Structure formats: structure tokens, C-alpha cells
A and B are shown apart, each in its own frame.
Chain A
Amino acid sequence: MKRSKFSFILVLMLALSVFLVACTSGNETPPTEEPGTEEPVAEEPQNLSGPLTLSGSTSVEKVGLALIEEFMALNPDVVGTYEAIGSSGGIKNAADGVTQIGTASREIKDEEKAWGIEELTIAYDGIGVIVNPANPVEDLTIDQITKIYTGEITNWKELGGNDEEIVVVSREDGSGTRGAFEEILGFEGKLTQKALIAEGNGNVQTTVAGNPKAIGYVSFSSLDNTVKPLKVEGVEPTAEDVINGTYKISRPFIFVYKEENLTEPAKAFLDFVMSEEGQNIVEENGAIRVK
């Protein structure tokens, strides 16, 4: 009897350990680096090491983390962190030297510039407003789009289109694209109750492509020709018009820092971000490259 109890415990422990091993191995996804990408390290005379600290915009988090990850893979002794606390907090942190680099997903205000910080625009984020190709409407103003999304304009007739109800399509709460769209247009939390919610850029496009009365928005990187992107204030949604500032539903991703707070890894990181490789990562993560 004693022996059977013992072996039962043994079996249970075995089961548990299998369970635990399965759990932990799921958590750490080892970065699979091709040997080729390690090459650039050889150019650096000294091995970079030490902390690399960023804080700021939640919208920049995805791009920022991707850049940090790649940079850490190239420089294994650097320990990078990104704290998503919002643009204002990030700029303040950079000015106070709490983190080496602060990130913002909006223009830097004049009073913030007075803190003596440097700015580096690393990318742009652009959002295209889309309708069904069958919709005759071509061009909307910022004000009209805001009124559509808050439910004040409900018929295409009011916008020079057909006499049809507008089907508003938005994204799920927490989506970066939705956050940016509401923030740029200034109607945070006021989305009309009638809006359909589609999960992801792809579903927004499918919904708009399937309904001639629908309007939606997607990030530039996922626009395709099943839908018609609208001009905003007469400007086509193109990367050039975002960069030269004429397309309004867009925002810059900015890194701010004080020169004296930058360590060697931080300087190398800024160079890396603006390099061809860094800008490729920016593009892969849905933003518009600046170079």
C-alpha cells in the first residue's frame, strides 16, 4: 500500500513537471536570428553594454519595442526597456533624465521645447478614411468625418452622396489605430453607439468593401484596392503628403532626449533607428518611414 502511494505521488510529480516545462518553454520564444544579421556588430570597435531606457507614447510602443528587440539582438550586452506611460510623461522623463529617450506620438509643444530637449522624428503614422468604391463621395473635411463618427451626420446626402444612411465602422477599444484616429480628430470616447466594430484593419476593409453605405478607417500600411480611400481636406492619403504635413489624419512618432543624458548605447540606438535596417523595422510595424 505504501509503495503504491509513493508511486502515485511520483506519477503526479512527473505530470506536474511535464506541465510546468510546457508552460515555461511557451513563454520564452528564443529570438531566431539568422547568422547574417549579426555581422554589423563587427563594425563597432567596442562592445556596447549597459541600460537603454525609453518611456512615452503607448502608440509608439510597438515600433519602439521592435526596434529595441532588434538592437538588443545585435548588441547582447545592452538591456533595453520601454515604459508606455503616454507622450507627455515620456517627454517629461527625457527632460528630467529619468529615461534616456522619451517618445511621443504628437508634435512637441512649445513649453516642452523650452526644457532644452532635442527632437528626432523617426516615423509617421497615417490613417486612411475609406468608403466602398460604389460611393460617389470623394473628399471629406476633418469636421465632417468627426461628425460622422460622433453620429451628428447620419446620411450620405448631407455630404453630397446618395440619400442613404451612413454605416459607421470603427475598431475595437484599445486598438492603436482607433486611439490615434479619435485623438487626431478630437472625439475620444464619443463614438456613436450605432457604429459597427470590426476586429483588425482587414475586417474593417472587408466590411466596407461589402457595404456601399459604409465608412471606415485603416492604417496606411493595410490599404488595398477593394476600398476607396477618401481625400481629407482635398489631400490624397499618401506617404509624401503625410511627411510634408498636408494630410491631416496623421501624426509623427518622435524621440526626444537631452544630449548629456545619452550613453553610448543610446547614441548607437538612435543611429540604428535612422539606419536602413531600423527604418525597415518601422515599416514592418505599420508606420511610415522617414528615410
Chain B
Amino acid sequence: MEKDMKLDKKNELKEKLAHYLFLFNATVAIISVAAIAFFVFYRGLQPFIPGNAEGNYNLIDFLSGLEWRPSLGKFGILYMIVGSLLATFGAIILGVPVGILTAIFIAELAPKWAKKIIKPAVEMLAGIPSVLYGLFGLGVIVPWIMQISPQAQGQSLLAVIIVLMIMILPTVITITESAINSVPDAYREGSFGLGATKLYTIFKVVLPAAKSGILAGVVLGIGRAIGETMAVMLVAGNPIAGLPKSIFSPIRPLTTNIAMEMSYAFGLHQEMLFATGVVLFVFIILINLILSRITRGSVLK
């Protein structure tokens, strides 16, 4: 009897220890998110609060300005917001169809040997550091665009779109593939049983059933595209002013604005870079809200 109780106590202690170990690990993530959010918002909102030590800036001018000249005290980021959104939109338009078709091929159609080549290639693509995408863009895509562009340089919205399109492929492919795989085989068998062809089954039965999972992949791809920094910095051109007029115009994404100037900036200039970060943060929060809406009731969950 007594021995059993001892054993119980021991087990209970073990359980408790494990419990706190897990809790501790979970708090690391939560504390990090809270700390980063607090830090960025705290620093980034200072310029818009009257009486700030480093000087004030009008929020409307900030969000609607078309010129970024910190040395003249001009901090307008509308042209960057437009650039970031256009680049992300373009990458999604080009990348999502390619990604979904690749995922269908891997999940439904590919023979075993082809799968063996494509899957590791996609995983490899996901693991390549983003600066290498940038170097590839600068060395291959930018010179190519320079030849077809009516403008004199290859650094452009188009270059950013192409680089981002390649970068979001792994995200879209892997999530779409797992969404397709989680569609029960009974669906397919039912469809075949009714005399449907393979293509009809894929597009009319499997894809609709996997819809929310695929959308989640798209939204995550958007998040990756809008947050990418290093790769786009090298191919975007990063001008100091002006809305992009065509896909051959250079753009300055929000992320590169922060990364390029943070190392030198001080005072109001630095706080305006944090303010740029706040805008980026708001975009990411929006994307996550949309994502949680979509994945509610998904097969992926």
C-alpha cells in the first residue's frame, strides 16, 4: 500500500515537472511575440504622439506621401505600400497556379519516380537562404529584364514579382499537397464509380474538398511575399520617390526601406523606420486574421 502511494507521488511529480516544462517552452513563443509587437509599436508610434522628443510627423502625410527623403525630413511611404502590394499580388497571380498544379501532379498524377525528384526539389527550394534568391535575381533575372525592358535598368517590379513567385512556390505546393492528401479516398472512389474521368474528379471533387487548405496555402504565401526582405532588396531598385508606372518601374518595398537604412538612422529617421515596421506589422496581422477565418472548419485542422 505504502509503496504504491510513493509511486503515485513520484509519478505525480513527474507529470507536474513535464507540465511546467511544456508551459515554459510555450511561454517563450508568447513572450517573443508580445515583446516584438510592443517594441515595434512603442517605437513606431512615437512620431505621431504630440510632444515626442525626436520631433513629430503627421500620420496622414506619412501614409499618403510619395517621397522618402529623411535628410529633408520627408517620410512618405504610400509609394512603398503600393509597391509591396503590387509585388505580392503579382507573385500570387503567377505563383499560385503553378504551385497548385504542381501539388496536384505530386499528389494525384505523378509516377513514383517523378515524385522522387519533384518532392526533394520543392523541399530544397524552401531551404535556400533568401539572399541567394536575391543574388540569382540580380545575376540572371535583372539582366534578362534589362534586355526586354523599355527602361534602361532591370531592377523593377517585374524582377521582384519573379523572385517572389519562386520563393512562395514551396509554401503553396506543400500546403496544397497535404490538403489534397487529406481528402478521403471515398470521394475519389465515389466520383470514379459514377463514371467521372480522372481530370474531372480532380477539378470537380478533390480540389473543392481541399479548398480551405489550398486557400490557407495562398494566404501563407502572401505573408511570405510581403515580408521578404533580403532577396527583393537586391532586385527592386529601391527609388526614393514615385509610384510605379509599369511593371518595368523600380519599386521600394516596405521591408527593404527598413533594412537598408536602419544601420545608420537615428532620431526621428529611426522612429519613422519603426513606423514603417508598424505598417508592415498591421499587414501581417490582417493576413493572419484572414488565415484563421479560412482554416476554421478546414480539413487541415
Contact = CB atoms under 8 A, between A and B. Distances in A.
Partners in one complex: yes
Interface residues of A, number: 35
Contacts of A176: 264
Contact of B239 (A8, A19, A194, A211): A194
29 contacts: A7-B20, A12-B27, A15-B27, A165-B151, A166-B152, A167-B152, A172-B261, A173-B68, A173-B70, A173-B71, A173-B240, A174-B71, A174-B261, A174-B265, A174-B269, A193-B239, A196-B153, A196-B237, A197-B239, A197-B252, A197-B260, A198-B238, A199-B238, A199-B260, A207-B138, A207-B155, A210-B139, A210-B142, A211-B153
B206 interface: no
Contacts of A164: 152
Interface in B104-148: 138-139, 142-143, 146
Interface in A100-128: none
Given A172-B261, A198-B238, 18 more contacts: A7-B16, A165-B151, A167-B152, A167-B153, A173-B71, A174-B70, A174-B71, A176-B264, A189-B71, A193-B241, A195-B240, A196-B153, A199-B238, A199-B256, A203-B234, A210-B139, A211-B146, A211-B152
Interface in A12-50: 12, 14-15, 19
B198 interface: no
Contacts of A196: 153, 155, 237-239, 250
8 interchain residue pairs of minimum CB distance: A174-B264, A165-B152, A197-B238, A172-B260, A193-B241, A189-B72, A196-B237, A173-B70
B7 to A, nearest CB: 20
B19 to A, nearest CB: 9
Nearest to B35: A19
A7 B238 CA distance: 52
Interface of A: 4, 7-8, 11-12, 14-15, 19, 164-167, 172-176, 179, 188-189, 191, 193-199, 203, 206-207, 210-211, 213-214
A167 B264 CA distance: 25
Interface in B214-260: 233-234, 237-242, 250, 252, 256, 259-260
Contacts, number: 91
Nearest to A210: B143
A199 B259 CA distance: 9
B90 interface: no
B213 interface: no
A213 B142 CA distance: 14
B1 interface: no
A66 to B, nearest CB: 16
B69 interface: yes
Contact of B20 (A11, A191, A195, A214): A11
A54 B143 CA distance: 47
Interface in B46-72: 67-72
A211 B139 CA distance: 11
B20 A8 contact: yes
A11 B71 contact: no
A172 B151 CA distance: 22
Nearest to A10: B20
A4 B269 contact: no
Contact of A199 (B23, B70, B233, B239): B233
Contacts of B28: 15
